[in-house]
Structure 1
Amino acid sequence: MDRQEVTRRIIHVDMDAFYASVEQRDNPDLRGRPLAVGGAGRRGVVAAASYEARRFGVRSAMPSVTAQRKCPDLVFVRPRFDVYRAVSAQIHAIFARFTPVIQPLSLDEAYLDVTNPLQAYPSATAIATAIRAQIHDATGLTASAGVSYNKFLAKLASDYRKPNGQFVITPRMGPDFVANLPVEDFHGIGPATAARMHALGIRTGLDLRTQPLSRLLRQFGKAADFYYGIARGIDERPVEVNRPRRSVGAERTFDADIHEWVGAQAAIADLSERVWGRCLTRGLTGITVTVKVKYNDFRQIVRGRTEAEPVRDAPDLGQRAMDLLAPCFPPRRGIRLLGVTVSGLREAGEEPAPRQLALFG
């Protein structure tokens, strides 16, 4: 393990059920009740779920009709992004008391590099404890934190004692901690990649560690180096200050190739719900929609369109994506993967920039 990995001190702070907790804080009648932030209609998506709702299996990015089926007593509240942004600003001001090296991931989570903190504390663990206490004093909300020597392990650690807890993964613990985890629990390995790994006999961090880099490169391309490292508890990525998120997307590899428009419509609708749920979670929307199509011969095309008005909701995103996909039908060969991405990001509710009129028409 190199010297940089051993000496770095990284904290990942993640607010507990942030949007839902803000709503329960501001409305005592909602406390203790299963709550979802999002739209309750047929096309609605859960942006956040309280812990009471999570016990029924309700999760963010889930279609609202599914959430209501799982939890008939679920209460829906429309999101208030102006309030969430104001609370997020309070939280980030607290982060800045401890370090200038902050990488926000969304309104409710961030990485902090406290290798050289602004205040004298005996350890990164003590800093994480102080941050969580100050957040609670300022906002009345709870946060969880993970402390480790790199970003990958810090994020894993923050999930380990949720809610309202923290966990430390030391350099000595790192490789063994990773070895026992299922690959689907790794941040950076999504459902489609996990399924591919399962098909290759890779189910745990230890299985991943036994794979030669050459095989990982053949199977996963440029992501192979990252997978090779995290299987050993190694992640050299720096905490990037003011790193802007460029896009929000999702894709799906199908068990059976798609040939018919009806199947493609259903897949695009599902992907659009998932992507919009992620946008809601981050308080974002965007003006550019892109569709990726991969055929069964692995040929791939990407189609995108930028519009003046940002995406409004999941049905709007789905319609824009279907308009992009329609010229590809009927396909000459089966479609094995579809993806939907929103880019040209801006905060939800932000007014679009004024457009300059064209000189000619």
Structure 2
Amino acid sequence: METKPIRKIIHVDMDAFYASVEQMDRPELKGKPIAVGGSETRGVVSAASYEARQYGVRSAMSGIQAKRLCADLIFVKPRFDRYKEISQKIRKIFLDYTDLVEPLSLDEAYLDVTQNKKGNPSATLIAKEIRTRIFQEVGLTASAGISVNKFVAKIASDYNKPNGQKTINPDEVVSFLEGLDVKKFYGIGKVTAEKMYQLGIFTGSDLKSKSKAFLEEHFGKSGMHYYDLVRGIHNSAVKPNRTTKSVAAEHTFNTNLTSEIFMEEKLVRIAEELSRRLQKHKISGKTVTLKIKYSDFTQQTRSKTLPYFIQDKALLFENAKELLYQERMKDSVRLLGISLSNLNTEIKKTVVVQLRFEF
């Protein structure tokens, strides 16, 4: 019986990508704490430089809180077209080594280099060469994780950040996972980690000691997934064409909206933006979802599924408007978004959707 070769997977993760691009393009920002997105009175931080992170500033944090943590924080307007331009240059470097590149976002991707264009048997050396080329040709630093599957490579890439890499060899995978805090496991969020802590599961070793039955009892279908992960079993292939499950557009407002009439005006613009994205990628869908984020940062979604596919801005707006009036708003609104799912194709080119901020 023929055995499959051990896979060699690299996860490349750019270091503080948006913030690093801004510091590269504007030398006066180098070495300073900056936040991309948000402001000291409004909005949400999209990315923070490492200088800002030292103060506890993180992405998805309100601008008000970020400024409170770092009085010298400099807010910078996002330039997503520029980030996409840089991302495409980095992607071209990846493709010099393998066609099996799975982008997760503008700033990270998986590469399967088991068989590669350079004929180099060392994934560790390939990762080092890729990181060197990114620095020399683009001007930014990247970190990388190298291992036998995507799950372990993803964890490893965070190990020696920034501007570092870590290889977890096949015979090291299980012991590496056993020694990790379960909150470090990619895919185990804060809520699940807390639940595991309450069950006495603090490390990978603790997780490995639990039976399939125990894990399925407490975590349902995910239990089997965790059972395999801690044993280094994760067979998901690197997929160059990831399935697009939904496409969305959303806006954060400078001033909270209190009237549905004003919200309607914003939804028109959001529907137009979403329609442009859908038409560009030749995608349509049946399920329209309205996303609402209130002034207290709580979030609500309202959805409806149509019997036919749509991508037209007028139909997107009409359905989003219907959802808007489905029930009364519980508070003033700081963000609105429209997404379309239940799409007309199973395999489409990945659509990278970024938040649009108003300043």
Q: With structure 1 as the length reference, what TM-score do the two structures score?
A: 0.71
2:236 is aligned to 237
1:357 is aligned to none
Give the SS at the match of 1:110.
strand
> Residue type matched to 2:129 in 1?
A
1:20-74 deviation digits (Å, cap 9, x = unpaired): 0000000011000001100205441111100000111111111111111111110
Task: Using the TM superposition, give the Cα deviation of residue 137 of structure 1 relative to its aligned residue in structure 2, in angstroms.
Answer: 1.4
CA contact (8 A) 1:201 1:207 kept: yes
> Residue type matched to 2:161 in 1?
K
User: How far apart, in 2, do the equivalents of 1:325 and 1:42 lie?
Assistant: 31
Task: Using the TM superposition, give the Cα deviation of residue 171 of structure 1 relative to its aligned residue in structure 2, in angstroms.
Answer: 1.1
1:182-204 deviation digits (Å, cap 9, x = unpaired): 11111010111111111211111
User: How far apart, in 2, do the equivalents of 1:176 and 1:107 lie?
Assistant: 32
Given the alignment of the two structures, is residue 95 of structure 1 paired with residue 94 of structure 2, yes or no? yes
1:59 is aligned to 58
1:222-256 deviation digits (Å, cap 9, x = unpaired): 2222211111122111111121453599xxxxxxx
CA 1:244–1:49 in structure 2 vs 1: closer, same or farther (change >3 Å)?
farther
After TM superposition, the structure 1 = structure 2 runs for residues 1-361 of structure 1, keeping only pairs within 5 Å, are: 4=4, 7-40=6-39, 42-246=41-245, 288-289=288-289, 303-305=302-304, 326=327, 344=341, 347-348=353-354
CA 1:72–1:302 in structure 2 vs 1: closer, same or farther (change >3 Å)?
closer
Q: With structure 2 as the length reference, what TM-score do the two structures score?
A: 0.72
1:147-167 deviation digits (Å, cap 9, x = unpaired): 000111101110011000110
User: How far apart, in 2, do the equivalents of 1:7 and 1:346 lie?
Assistant: 31
Give the SS at the match of 1:164.
coil
User: How far apart, in 1, do the equivalents of 2:206 and 2:173 lie?
Assistant: 16
**Unaligned 5+ runs, structure 2:** 249-284, 292-299, 306-310, 315-319, 331-336, 342-350
CA contact (8 A) 1:153 1:174 kept: yes
CA contact (8 A) 1:36 1:77 kept: yes
> Residue type matched to 1:155 in 2?
K
Give the SS at the match of 2:22.
helix
Give the SS at the match of 2:143.
strand
Give the SS at the match of 2:158.
helix
> Residue type matched to 1:123 in 2?
S
User: How far apart, in 2, do the equivalents of 1:182 and 1:60 lie?
Assistant: 22
After superposition, the CA RMSD in angstroms is: 3.4
Structure 1 segments, 4+ long, off by >6 Å, are 306-310
User: How far apart, in 2, do the equivalents of 1:192 and 1:161 lie?
Assistant: 26
Aligned residue pair count? 287
User: How far apart, in 2, do the equivalents of 1:341 and 1:209 lie?
Assistant: 41
> Residue type matched to 2:95 in 1?
A
User: How far apart, in 1, do the equivalents of 2:288 and 2:71 lie?
Assistant: 36
2:256 is aligned to none
CA contact (8 A) 2:40 2:67 kept: no
Task: Using the TM superposition, give the Cα deviation of residue 142 of structure 1 relative to its aligned residue in structure 2, in angstroms.
Answer: 0.4
Task: Using the TM superposition, give the Cα deviation of residue 221 of structure 1 relative to its aligned residue in structure 2, in angstroms.
Answer: 1.9
User: How far apart, in 1, do the equivalents of 2:73 and 2:326 lie?
Assistant: 35
2:294 is aligned to none
> Residue type matched to 1:45 in 2?
V
> Residue type matched to 1:177 in 2?
F
User: How far apart, in 2, do the equivalents of 1:56 and 1:346 lie?
Assistant: 30
Give the SS at the match of 2:134.
helix
CA contact (8 A) 2:106 2:352 kept: no
CA contact (8 A) 2:9 2:153 kept: yes
2:264 is aligned to none
Of all paired residues, the percent bearing the same amino acid is: 49
User: How far apart, in 1, do the equivalents of 2:324 and 2:18 lie?
Assistant: 32
